[in-house]
Amino acid sequence: MMTDQSRQKTYPVSWDQLHRDSKALAWRLVEAPRPWRGVIAIARGGMVPAAVVARELNIRLVETFCIATYEDRVRGEARILKVPNAEGEGWLIIDDLVDTGRTARVVRDRLPGVHFATVYAKPAGRPLVDTYVTEVSQDTWILFPWDTELRSVPPIVRDAPAT
């Protein structure tokens, strides 16, 4: 029988839900006090939400900040692959998730004064973002639609008591 400690918590997100949550993020950003010079998507996870937010806020200038921190669900050293051509305030950083805050710290060090917004936030990284939509627990793995496919899965509890 599976124990609570051995269960892996997952939070599957569909394309439809990601679109709705990204649009909800745009609604929150409408209330922000300054006009945006442009959007910077954290590649790769922030690219889809950034496209939705840029459309909803009618922002035409979109850059990317390319950083690699995960390899097959394992955190590694943060490797900066590309820094956007963007300086000063008025830039809006968009990412799919802030987890431990490691990526957010790297981005904030490189681009001080930006407004950092994520669709999902975990407690450890939440203080590093200015705007987010949904909080999930630190021990939950979010299954984004680009990382999943439909297939059969076993039930959570495999050994049911005989009745």
Examine residue 111 and state whether it is found in any structural domain, yes or no: no
User: Which residues share a beta bridge with 68?
Assistant: 79
Give 112-143 pLDDT, tens digit per residue.
Answer: 989 999 999 999 999 999 999 999 999 999 99
Catalytic residue among 16, 21, 72, 99: 99
Q: Is residue 113 part of a domain?
A: no
Residue at 122 is within a domain: no
- pLDDT digit string, tens, across residues 11-69: 999 999 999 999 999 999 998 777 899 999 999 999 999 999 999 999 999 999 999 88
Q: Rounded distance, CA 125 to CA 43, Å?
A: 18
**139-158 residue pLDDT tens:** 999 999 999 988 888 888 87
Residue of 4, 16, 95, 147 marked catalytic: 95
- Rounded to the nearest 5°, which phi and psi values hold at 82? -160, 135
Q: How much is the average pLDDT of 79-107?
A: 92
Assigned domain for 53 exists: yes
Assess whether 4 carries a catalytic annotation: no
Bin 26: left if φ > 0, else alpha if -120 < ψ < 50, else beta: alpha
CATH at residue 16: 3.40.50.2020
Q: Is 159 a catalytic residue?
A: no
pTM of the predicted structure, to 2 decimals: 0.84
